[in-house]
Amino acid sequence: MRRVAVVGAGMTLFRHRMLETGKEMAFEASRMALDQAGLDIKDVDSVVLGSAPDAFDGVHMKGEYLLDGAGGTRKPYTRVFVGGGTGVFVPIAAWWQVASGVADIVLVVGEEKMSPLLPHPQYAFWSIFDPILERPLGVTLLWIFSLEMRRYMHVYNVSEEDIALVAVKNKRNALDHPAAQLAANITVDDVLKSEPICWPVKRLDVSPTSDGAAAVVLASEDVARRITDDPVWITGVGWNVDSTYWTNRDLCYPEYLEKAANMAYRMAHISDPKKEIDFAEVYDPFDYKELHHMEGLQLARRGEAPKLTREGVTQRDGDLPINPSGGLLGVGNPIAAAGMMKIAEVFWQLRGEAGKRQVKKPVRRGLAQAWGDLMQVGTVVIMER
């Protein structure tokens, strides 16, 4: 297997509605990533695009629709899709190509344009429910998250206040992100008093729906050493998927994520992730999910993530900064682009290019993670200087 480096990253603003079409956003993020890498489209051997359900953009076969914006015309081009986990799965699919020697330079693009769908992007999820067992109940996705959040609170005796601290932290971190959609200085009380959507899930526990794109460029070691003094290496990748039946999963502990993480840790020769991972961008479409995912990643013991959060360990100046970017709660959640934003953030943090978002302690190794499909896929990428 060949070593694989990240050599450039780019992203658009994340906003509720962008004038740019999906193609235009894909182009802008890709152009920025190529510019940072000092490369042109003719240098790119292959393109991998990630985007979530076609129903958002409202253009069926979105991968094909986005082709020229992602620079894929007349190149080997693939769209990959594992729902919300897509953003961190796209670089994995691109990594295969470079690690195997199929390609030397791969452009990796995540795009989502959720705003077209009326009455609300959320309604795209109507169609994911089982027509026999679930649709007759008239539930939305939020009901599922409510089941998970309540179970998590129950098992570990976690308070709403502890969970709200995640939203407070991430939205504040996002104040330093130039692309952020929902950066804010809010209090725990603001979260608790926000409109209940499906208790215990309240408005400010939830990330927004967004339009946006993000891209990175992967290169083989030879190419990376030639074009940059500062490559960031992908040293571990992992993915895993659990049963699609809600009824057959542990709603309190994401076992599939533990398996995905262990796959990546083995590859990266990590035996004690809590000590060996310097910071992480974990998937936080809901505040409780950051806690959930920290535990699945074994960055905290089971039930310990709320305590670490309360003690400030996960702040940017803490011992284990989590979501220094501001995460999905603060920067926004254009699904596949949101996961790619996390990949870009780990890259920028490791290169010391995160500006006001730069975590305080020196960092050598970071992790990005996403979650999705039918709430049961885990995707993990580990990157190192």
Partner 1 sequence: MSLPDGLRNTSQAKNWVDSLPLSYKYSAGVSGQRFAEGLKQGKILGSKCSKCGETFLPPSLYCPNCFVYSSEYVEIPPYGEIYSFAEADGKAIALIRFQGVTGGLIHVVKRPSAGKLKIGLRVSAVFRPAEQRKGDLTDIEFFEIRPHT
Residues at the contact surface with partner 1, assessed by CB under 8 A = 17-21, 23-24, 27-28, 30-31, 34, 40-41, 55, 58, 68-69, 71, 73, 113, 115-119, 123-124, 126-127, 131, 135, 211
Q: Would you mind telling me the total number of residues written for the chain in this entry?
A: 385
Report the nearest approach of partner 1 to the CB of residue 384 (Å): 30
* Residues 111/70, Cβ–Cβ less than 8 Å: yes
Closer to partner 1 by Cβ: residue 32 or 291: 32
Report the nearest approach of partner 1 to the CB of residue 59 (Å): 9
Return d(Cα 206, Cα 146) in angstroms, integer.
11
Report the nearest approach of partner 1 to the CB of residue 123 (Å): 6
The b/e string for 319-336 (b: 16+ C-beta within 10 A; e otherwise) is bbbbbbbbbbbbbbbbbb
Integer distance in angstroms from the first to the last C-alpha of the chain?
Answer: 19
Report the nearest approach of partner 1 to the CB of residue 351 (Å): 24
* Residues 243/377, Cβ–Cβ less than 8 Å: no
Closer to partner 1 by Cβ: residue 104 or 211: 211
Count CA atoms closer than 13 A to 290's CA, side-chain side: 33
Closer to partner 1 by Cβ: residue 24 or 161: 24
Report the nearest approach of partner 1 to the CB of residue 210 (Å): 13
Return d(Cα 340, Cα 152) in angstroms, integer.
27
Closer to partner 1 by Cβ: residue 116 or 200: 116
Report the nearest approach of partner 1 to the CB of residue 12 (Å): 12
Q: What angle do CA 317, 253, 163 make, to 5 degrees?
A: 45
Return d(Cα 92, Cα 284) in angstroms, integer.
20
Closer to partner 1 by Cβ: residue 21 or 194: 21
Closer to partner 1 by Cβ: residue 19 or 137: 19
Closer to partner 1 by Cβ: residue 135 or 301: 135
DSSP 41: G
* Residues 198/329, Cβ–Cβ less than 8 Å: no
Report the nearest approach of partner 1 to the CB of residue 122 (Å): 11
